[in-house]
Amino acid sequence: MSGLPPGGPPGTGGPNPALRVDLLSIFPEVLEAYSSTSVLGRAQRAGVLQLRFHDLRTGALDARRTVDDAPYGGGAGMVLGPEPVFRAVEQIDPPRPLYLLSPAGRRFDQHVALELARPGTAFSLLCGRYEGVDQRVADHLVDGELSIGDFVLAGGELAALVVLEAVARLVPGVLGNEASPEEESFADGLLEQPHYTRPADFRGHQVPEVLLSGDHGRISRWRRAESLRRTIERRPDLIAARGGLSSNEVQLLLEHGYPLEAASADGPAVSAETTGNDFPEERDLP
Ligand SMILES: C[S@@+](CC[C@H](N)C(=O)[O-])C[C@H]1O[C@@H](n2cnc3c(N)ncnc32)[C@H](O)[C@@H]1O
């Protein structure tokens, strides 16, 4: 499972992949199974993406391949020990930077994904387990820590797959002919517009008329307006982070019937420069 020669066997990425990621876990088979399907599987078979899966237990010192131990100071649960993890990393020598998945890490988002998705790049992901990982791993072995959100998973595997998939699909060639990541949510600090497919009338629910019009200019303006509207309604923090709305965007929203005046009582839409309003507090999702 680990230690494949550069280039790997057929189906594990070509000799010059656009992205190489090594994943270290006590459950490498879980990571490998997911990564062999869909976008990640196709990208590996096309040689664009090279993934290597390593078992942290190769660093264990005993015949039972133990990697955890009781916490100093007492308390519930076990801790992934420093010795097996350091030994595994030293044997594997995975590409750096090496990131530990951790709820205490830097929040992973689309900006971090873009940073990691530079073509020709390589990095590695180390999955924690148990109550956590001995602090010396974070302090003296890895190059950084990544969190996928303010919640606690049982292990780093799902978090690593989240990071891997979000990064990989930004690398040119990974998505093939599928939609361009530049047009997706967060690409320009906004949520994406809604999508529709056939039938135009589903149980009385109609597709917006503009999408059936064949007028590409109108469709493009509608999509932009919907993207702005959704972001204002659902994630006003994103609007604030990009400095509010430009006057063209305000105009576009007004043209599409968005009630900016009504909304501005809550202050969601228009930047302080444009209207003098403050931005709203982030609202809870329904
Ligand atoms: C049960 S968690 C440990 C949580 C730890 N006791 C705490 O309260 O921060 C076990 C492992 O899951 C992974 N993990 C859990 N939640 C995560 C998150 N939100 N982001 C990234 N990794 C996470 C980490 O690798 C962590 O070492």
Sign of the C-alpha dihedral computed for residues 167, 168, 169 and 172 taken in this order? positive
List of E strands, 16-173: 19-25, 49-55, 68-69, 79-80, 98-107, 121-126, 144-147
Q: What is the CATH number of domain 201-275?
A: 1.10.1270
Ligand 1 mean position, distance from CA 159 (Å): 9
Domain limits, CATH 1.10.1270, in the chain: 201-275
Mapping DSSP to helix (H, G, I), strand (E, B) and coil, where does residue 181 land? helix
Q: What is the CA radius of gyration of the chain?
A: 23
Query: What pLDDT shows up at residue 260?
Result: 76
Task: State residue 280's pLDDT score.
Answer: 36
Q: Is 151 near ligand 1, meaning CB less than 6 Å away? A: yes
Nearest CA to ligand 1 atom 6: 131
**Ligand 1 nearest-atom number relative to CA 80:** 27
Q: Give tens-digit pLDDT for 81-94.
A: 999 999 999 999 99
CA of 78 to the centre of ligand 1 (A): 13
Give residue 145's pLDDT.
98
Q: What is the pLDDT of residue 181?
A: 80
CATH 3.40.1280.10 spans which residues of the chain? 19-168
Question: How does the average pLDDT of the chain come out, rounded?
Answer: 88
Q: How confident is the model at residue 184, as a pLDDT? A: 84
How is domain 19-168 classified at the CATH fold level? Answer: Alpha/beta knot (3.40.1280)
Residue 34 CB: number of other CB atoms within 10 A?
Answer: 17
pLDDT > 90: percent of the chain: 78
Q: Which residues does the chain have with pLDDT short of 50?
A: 1-12, 262, 265-269, 272-286
Across the chain, which distance is largest between two alpha carbons, in Å? 71
Predicted confidence at residue 14, as pLDDT, reads 61
Please tell me the distance from the alpha carbon of residue 203 to that of residue 217, in angstroms, as a whole number.
29
